[in-house]
């Protein structure tokens, strides 16, 4: 464990808890990704005391990242406390980003002195988002033009033949269109895009948790820990993206929905591609 231990102001020190810090670390997964993808920043503290929550924690500056939500929890087992905070982030610009240590101010149980404990820093390597291949775009446009010309020519030829030749068989009765079921998630996302309200956010969150097989009481951290989504990274990203609009204060719901929609729509695209 790396930590710094400067003396804090006496008035503030009187309010600090006295704890024995066994470890205080920070990790990131994945450490290499592209702009627009998501990562998990996890801060873990192991203490000898039994605590319900850990205060006086200062998070690092997250310049170059956008927060999509976070989860905090502390659990005791009779022999101490494990506190974790997991933040879902997405990088906004490429490059090597160093996230500075998270700090914790407390009375060091070993020395009895006010101390500032610090985690290790982490480095995230961000590559640019993939760019469309200009040659591929040109090729697709050229193929589209050729297909259009072929269809137009066929339509003209068919119309000419119909004017010269009598019908060979009676006209078939009109068939009614077959109504295919619409994916529930697609319906929910369309409703959310039109009305970015808390009620519609929670409906999308419930459908995503149902797809991941979430149990009652399970948090996002629990689902990620047991890999509830299997290898479906699009579903995992969508679960993380819907957390922020589900729990932010009401004035920020609309902005968080706008940030989450592109990630949620990628899940539909991935599902359509695998169908």
**Domains plus CATH for the chain?**
3-127 (2.60.40.740), 184-274 (no CATH)
Q: What is the residue-averaged pLDDT of the chain?
A: 83
Q: Burial, 72: exposed, middle or buried (Cβ in 10 Å; 0-12, 13-18, 19+)?
A: middle
pLDDT at 91: 95
Is the torsion defined by CA of 13, 19, 23, 28 positive or negative? Answer: negative
- With a cut of 80, say whether residue 175 has pLDDT above it: no
**Of 113, 116, 96, the residue nearest 1 (C-alpha):** 116
Cβ-Cβ contacts under 8 Å for 79 (sequence gap 6 or more): 48
H-assigned helices in 17-133: none
Torsion, Cα of 17, 21, 23, 24 (10° steps): 20
Is the torsion defined by CA of 159, 160, 162, 163 positive or negative? Answer: positive
- With a cut of 50, say whether residue 18 has pLDDT above it: yes
- pTM of the entire structure? 0.46
What are residue 140's phi and psi, to 5 degrees?
Answer: -65, -40
Q: Which of 39-53, 86-100, 135-149, 185-199 has the lowest mean pLDDT?
A: 135-149
Region 59-81: mean pLDDT is 90
pLDDT at 11: 41
Are 5 and 104 a contacting pair, CB within 8 Å? no
Cβ-Cβ contacts under 8 Å for 67 (sequence gap 6 or more): 87, 88, 89, 244
Separation between Cα atoms, residue 196 and residue 200, nearest integer Å? 7
Separation between Cα atoms, residue 96 and residue 122, nearest integer Å? 10
Are 79 and 20 a contacting pair, CB within 8 Å? no
H-assigned helices in 129-170: 134-164
Are 129 and 34 a contacting pair, CB within 8 Å? yes
Q: Which of 76-85, 144-153, 204-213, 225-234 has the lowest mean pLDDT?
A: 144-153
Q: Burial, 119: exposed, middle or buried (Cβ in 10 Å; 0-12, 13-18, 19+)?
A: buried
pLDDT at 25: 96
Are 241 and 229 a contacting pair, CB within 8 Å? no
Q: Which residues pair with 89 in a beta bridge?
A: 39, 67
Region 94-120: mean pLDDT is 94
pLDDT digits (tens, 9 = 90+) for 178-208: 333 447 889 999 999 999 999 999 999 999 9
């Amino acid at each position: 464990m790396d930590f710094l231990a400067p003396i804090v102001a006496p008035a503030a020190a009187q309010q600090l808890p006295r704890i024995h810090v066994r470890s205080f670390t920070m990790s990131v997964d994945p450490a290499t990704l592209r702009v627009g993808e998501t990562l998990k920043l996890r801060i873990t503290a192991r203490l000898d005391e039994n605590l319900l929550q850990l205060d006086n924690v200062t998070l690092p500056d997250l310049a170059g990242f956008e927060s999509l939500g976070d989860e905090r929890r502390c659990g005791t087992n009779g022999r101490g406390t494990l506190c974790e905070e997991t933040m879902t982030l997405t990088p906004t610009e490429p490059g090597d980003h160093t996230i500075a240590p998270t700090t914790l101010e407390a009375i060091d149980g070993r020395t009895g002195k006010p101390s500032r404990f610090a985690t290790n820093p982490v480095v995230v390597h961000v590559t640019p988002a993939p760019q469309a291949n200009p040659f591929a775009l040109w090729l697709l446009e050229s193929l589209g033009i050729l297909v259009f010309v072929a269809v137009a020519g066929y339509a003209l030829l068919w119309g000419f033949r119909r004017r010269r030749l009598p019908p060979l068989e009676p006209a078939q009765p009109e068939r009614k269109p077959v109504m295919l079921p619409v994916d529930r998630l697609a319906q929910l996302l369309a409703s959310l895009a039109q009305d970015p309200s808390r009620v519609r956010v929670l409906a999308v969150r419930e459908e995503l948790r149902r797809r991941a097989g979430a149990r009652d009481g399970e948090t996002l951290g629990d689902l990620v820990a047991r890999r509830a989504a299997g290898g479906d990274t699009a579903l995992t990203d969508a679960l993380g993206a819907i957390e922020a609009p589900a729990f932010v204060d009401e004035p920020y719901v609309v902005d968080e929905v706008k940030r989450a929609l592109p990630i949620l729509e990628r899940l539909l695209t991935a599902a359509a591609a695998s169908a």
